[in-house]
Amino acid sequence: MTKICILAGNELEAYQWARSQNLEKDQYFFPTSPNELLFKTNFHVVVIGSAGQNIPESMFNKIYTLALERGRIGRY
């Protein structure tokens, strides 16, 4: 099953968006660092709300770029 990587300003914002989309906890995840993406593959990336506003721009760009790369791995 393909998951959704939610990039948001905080976990609560990600959770609220996921609930508004009727997603179960096993259908999405909220990474707080690039390390959390290193072993994940085959997922979609959604950027919502205040994503990137609470961390330095360089860190957000690193997480976003890595999420896009890792998400494509394993897609058919």
- Write out pLDDT tens, residues 19-51: 999 999 999 999 989 999 999 999 999 999 888
| pTM (predicted TM-score) | 0.90
Residue 51 confidence (pLDDT): 87
Distance of CA 73 to the CA centre of its chain: 15
Domain extent listing, the chain: 3-72
pLDDT at 2 over 80: no
Residue 1 confidence (pLDDT): 67
Q: Which two tokens stand for residue 28?
A: 């999405």
